[in-house]
Amino acid sequence: MIDGDGFPGGPILRLDGAEDPREARPRSRAAALLIAAAIAAVVAGVAVAVLASGTGYVYGGLPPAGASESAEPVPGEPSAQKKALAKLRGENRRLNAALRARAPRGYWVIVDQTQNRIYLKKDGETVLDARCSAGSGMILKEPEGGKGRRWVFDTPRGVFKVRNRVSDPAWKKPDWAFVEEGKPIPRNDADRIEYGTLGEYAFYLGDGYMIHGTLYERLLGRSVTHGCIRVGRDDLRVLWKHVEIGTPVYIY
Amino acid sequence: MANLGRSGPGGARRAAAAILAVAGALAPQPSMPGGGEDARIEIERLGRENGTLRKYVEMASGKEFYLVLDPDSLSLRLMLRGAVLQDYRVLGVEIGSPRVAFVVRELPEGWRGRTWTSGNLVPPRERERMEVEAPPPTSDPNYEPPPPTIPPTPEELYPVPRRFHVRFAGGLSLEFLRKGEADTAAGRWTRFLEWAGSRWSDLRSALDPSAPDADRVRVRLTLQPRDVDSLYRALPPDTELLILPENR
């Protein structure tokens, strides 16, 4: 037998195959540590999972509202209460009237420009619900050698009023219409006039935007225009019947 | 061809009565309180009601689009300058509060009845803009410009995510659910990824309420699928929101 005695820290070799107790102790300690670490990791994992399952959003019914920020102190005296009530009721009437005054009356038009729908309303009743075509959102760049202009073909959002309405409208083509077609921009205004393109009727909203007819009814329902709102012939006739100068047009 | 005389999305009659209904709902009760406790209750009610009406009038006078949610009458209206543009029928309302380790945070005071601003879609509705350089001008009379390509329909252009929010500045978001939506429409793996993604974003949002995209209160609304799709495709940017308070 060769023993490591006398060689502290040196290699230990037991030829009889038995484990040296000095080596077995650290090994079992390491194993125990490993097991403890694994258990701790599992426990921590479970704890995190449990806490995570309780973290996020919990949904329920409508809770009672908290105190209103506009709540004012209530007077205790009956006469003061009466006065406060009268004041509040007067204000309530004024506010309700102001709210009603802002709502459109008579005929008015709504354009849903992303879904290409046009509605004609009378007060709150829907008189017409039709497909239309709004701005394509395309960007047109002038070719090299031009003025370097850039046009964005969006339909604007907001409230507009019909400024003019025209039967058999002529289109005075703007520069972009020539640029897009690869044609030279005419110097003479008369060369810009085109008939038939806008359909039977046009309603002018300002800044060159119109509601008008189209030669391409198959494209209705798609965003294809240069910012105007195109409507099919039959629907345009309904609009012509009811939409006057001053009729509000809400585009969203 | 159009639908003549038919109701628009969300019901024209309800849209027609929207302003009057709101005004009516907010109108003072005719009964005269006897005094004391009754008068105090009436004064408080009218005070709250007028506070809401003031905000309503303020929104109707502004240039922004706004949503008005009435949880009691289950309606959500998209409005501009006092005009009801769309009236969505709400089929269910749930209020979500953040909770951390099972501890539920309190909802911010006065979340109903205040104006929430800068509402935007999450994920946003992206618009891919085509940029075209015009051909060089030619005076050739025989030149024909190339025919324009047929653009996609709105349904193709704006696919609606299965889960989306309208998030407002200050920590409120509207979350939209489709009624009776079949989860089997997507694959198992896709559903798992969506679930994991939404769990992760919920965890982050609940754990860090100071984060800009954290929700302090969530209002989950169940709508008809077509209304959910329509709202996602049409909601203008920077919309405001007023949630009408109870006990009006």
A23/B215: higher pLDDT: B215
CB neighbour class for A167 (10 Å; exposed up to 12, middle 13-18, buried from 19): exposed
Residues 6+ apart with CB under 8 A from B134: A140, A141, A142, A143, A179, A180, A182
Judged by CB atoms closer than 8 Å, whether chains meet at A103 and B82 is answered as: yes
Judged by CB atoms closer than 8 Å, whether chains meet at B60 and A99 is answered as: yes
| Per-residue pLDDT at A21 | 62
- Tell me, yes or no, if A128 comes closer than 8 A to chain B by beta carbon: yes
Cβ-based contacts of A130 with chain B (< 8 Å) = 1-3
Residue of A nearest to B155 (CA): A115
Residue B3: band (very low, low, confident or very high) from pLDDT cuts 50, 70, 90 = low
Residue A50: band (very low, low, confident or very high) from pLDDT cuts 50, 70, 90 = confident
Residue B19: band (very low, low, confident or very high) from pLDDT cuts 50, 70, 90 = low
Average pLDDT over residues A117-128: 96
Average pLDDT over residues A65-71: 52
Give a three-class secondary structure readout of chain A: CCCCCCCCCCCCCCCCCCCCHHHHHHHHHHHHHHHHHHHHHHHHHHHHHHHHHCCEEEEECCCCCCCCCCCCCCCCCHHHHHHHHHHHHHHHHHHHHHHHHHCCCCEEEEEECCCCEEEEEECCEEEEEEEEECECCCEEECCCCCCCCEEECCCCCEEEECCEEEECCEEECCHHHHHHHCCCCCCCHHHHEEECCCCCEEEEEECCEEEECCCCHHHCCCCCECCCEEECHHHHHHHHHHCCCCCEEEEC
Average pLDDT over residues B212-225: 92
CA distance B187 to chain A (A): 24
Residue of A nearest to B3 (CA): A129
- Tell me, yes or no, if A64 comes closer than 8 A to chain B by beta carbon: yes
Q: Are B7 and B13 in contact (CB under 8 A)?
A: yes
* Helix intervals (H) in B168-223: 188-207
The mean pLDDT value of chain B amounts to 84
C-alpha Rg value of chain A to the nearest Å = 40
Handedness of CA A34, A40, A44, A45 (dihedral sign): positive
| Per-residue pLDDT at B32 | 52
CA distance B189 to chain A (A): 21
How far apart, in whole angstroms, are the C-alpha atoms of residue B204 and residue B215? 10
The residue type of A74 is: V
How far apart, in whole angstroms, are the C-alpha atoms of residue B124 and residue B165? 9
ipTM field: 0.82
Question: pLDDT tens across A198-243, in order?
Answer: 999 999 999 999 999 999 999 999 999 999 999 999 999 999 999 9
Q: Are A61 and A50 in contact (CB under 8 A)?
A: no
- Which of A:65-94 have CB within 8 Å of B? 65-72, 74-75, 78, 81-82, 84-85, 88-89, 91-93
Return the number of CB contacts < 8 Å for A and B: 302
Residue B163: band (very low, low, confident or very high) from pLDDT cuts 50, 70, 90 = confident
Average pLDDT over residues B140-161: 85
How far apart, in whole angstroms, are the C-alpha atoms of residue B127 and residue A153? 13
| Residue B35 clears pLDDT 90, i.e. is over it | no
CA distance A14 to chain B (A): 56
Cβ-based contacts of A247 with chain B (< 8 Å) = none
Residue of B nearest to A217 (CA): B1
